[in-house]
Amino acid sequence: MARTGKLAELPLAIQNVPPTDSSDEATQQSLHDMVKRCYKTRSEIVHGRWEEGPEIDDRMGETEAIVRTVVRNIADKPGMLGGVSVPKDDWLEEWVQSKAFVPPPLP
């Protein structure tokens, strides 16, 4: 499907991000493969094994698209993190306020 308007102005890597409706197996596999590629690139960067080039730009575009999609989905469903974020927020807040290098025990 050809993108038009503002989407057509985006880098090709971002234009080619599959839709987030993963109701069919092909889309699920496509999303899985993209996340796997992005994570591999992340590991290469973190461990100093990457080189500049068009591939790194493609992965960065894909990674940005994934993060935007996740943030949008969380914003659309505010209760999505409700069950897990409160105890972690309290735990993290306690750690930050303590200014300690070692975290407090997990709740």
Please give the Cα distance from 102 to 107 (Å, whole number).
Answer: 15
Band (103; pLDDT cuts 50, 70, 90): confident
- pLDDT score, position 2: 47
Please give the Cα distance from 32 to 10 (Å, whole number).
Answer: 22
Instruction: Check whether 15 has a pLDDT greater than 70.
Output: no
Domain limits, the chain = 23-76, 81-107
Nearest 5°: the CA angle 23, 24, 29 is 110
* Residue with more model confidence, 105 or 2: 105
pTM for the predicted model, two decimal places: 0.53
